[in-house]
Amino acid sequence: MIPFAKAHAYGNDFLYVPERDVAGVRLDVLAREMCNRHAGVGADGLIVYEPTPGGAAMRLFNADGGGAEVSGNGVRGLAALLAQHDDRSALALTIVTEGGSKRLTRTSRDDTRQTFRAAMGLPTGLRRTGVAVGDALVEVVALNMGNPHAVVLGPLPEDDRFRQLGAALERHPAFAGGTNVEFAHVETPAQVRIRIWERGVGPTTSSGTGSCAALVAAAAYGAAARTADVMAPGGVQLVEWKDDSVYLTGWAEVLCQGQWLRCLPT
């Protein structure tokens, strides 16, 4: 048996398993099984974590079993799990990920949800480039927020175009190892609306690093302000692009805890 918890931020959901309970287990297989929406618990990703004195260290596996460097919503969900029984008004945690260490400060909480402001680091590799998709050249803003992103600026696509272009860009040869894809429309300088195609998952209702990447791309090339509300299908997160870091503010909610009973893949 494997104990797990499930948490989400704006519908972007994750399963959390302590590192000590999956020693020797094939984590890519476990992620595919546990994240399955019909034959498993269901989630966008599996996070395996180990508590540390100041927070935790984590590894992330997407629903398809592929490894990922970091998730802004996944990091915040882990912070909510670690802090769910801590009533201190001033609480700071550091989550170590393969995409760097993320410092989170809890700013508020209610009966179920905790809000954190997270320092997500600065973007790297920011550039505008053209990517050939079929007979068309698609202009994207490529950057890294601890994980790779390709942002398409302009009016949001209809469903068919969203699925076609999201899938094509995710695994495009231009992006070694694949990329997360965001479509971002600057409605006002302080409001950016997005749709998200997550690497290894597909359409998602929210993305923390995707919200950060969309704001950076929109501020650099789309006339958005460097502080804006980023509006995803699952809800609104505040993103601030400061000189020292990109800061992401939003809530997370621990939903349940349970036991995974299926035989462990080794």
d(CA 21, CA 38): 24
pLDDT in tens, the chain (266 residues): 899 999 999 999 999 999 999 999 999 999 999 999 999 999 999 999 999 999 999 999 999 999 999 999 999 999 999 999 998 878 999 999 999 999 999 999 998 999 999 999 999 999 999 999 999 999 999 999 999 999 999 999 999 999 999 999 999 999 999 999 999 999 999 999 999 999 999 999 999 999 999 999 999 999 999 999 999 999 999 999 999 999 999 999 999 999 999 877 67
d(CA 90, CA 181): 35
Phi, psi values for residue 213, rounded to 5°:
-65, -40
pLDDT tens string 13-58: 999 999 999 999 999 999 999 999 999 999 999 999 999 999 999 9
d(CA 223, CA 33): 43
66 half-sphere exposure, CB direction, 13 A CA radius: 14
What is the per-residue burial (b if ≥16 Cβ within 10 Å, else e) of 142-157?
bbbbbbbbbbbbeeeb
Q: DSSP for 122-147?
A: --EEEEEEEEEETTEEEEEEEEESSS
Residue 101, pLDDT score? 97
Residue 263, pLDDT score? 79
d(CA 110, CA 26): 37
Full-prediction pTM beyond 0.85? yes
50 half-sphere exposure, CB direction, 13 A CA radius: 9
pLDDT tens string 98-127: 999 999 999 999 989 999 999 999 999 999
Burial (CB count <10 Å: 0-12, 13-18, 19+), residue 85: exposed
